[in-house]
Amino acid sequence: MTQKISEPVSVKMVFDHQLGKAKPEQILWHNKIYPVTQVGLRHIVRDGRKLYHIFSLVSHATFLRLSLDTEKLSWTLEEVSDGISN
């Protein structure tokens, strides 16, 4: 089941200068660490002058969608899904 969350989270991210790519490695949400086991789609969304990077991630059997506000440099957990349809 997919749930809309829209809560701030802490994210551990790594930048590989050789590949020129940044990748989230861990998400801390409600005092639980979710290790990122797979990075799916990444895209950019503009809201007026604001720019957001949207990441679709998997942590074991949990799907997470994160947004990075590039103005505030803050992370928001937008959605969580356990992969089971409603």
Residues 23-35 pLDDT 10s: 999 999 999 999 9
Query: What pLDDT sits at residue 1?
Result: 87
Q: Please give the tally of structural domains in the chain.
A: 1
Position 38 confidence tier, pLDDT thresholds 50, 70, 90? very high
In a domain, 44, yes or no: yes
In a domain, 72, yes or no: yes
Residues 52-85 pLDDT 10s: 999 999 999 999 999 999 999 999 999 999 876 6
The distance of Cα 74 from the centroid of its chain, to the nearest Å, equals: 11
Query: What pLDDT sits at residue 82?
Result: 86
In a domain, 86, yes or no: no
Q: 60 to each of 49, 52, 69, 75, how far by Cα in Å? A: 35, 25, 25, 20
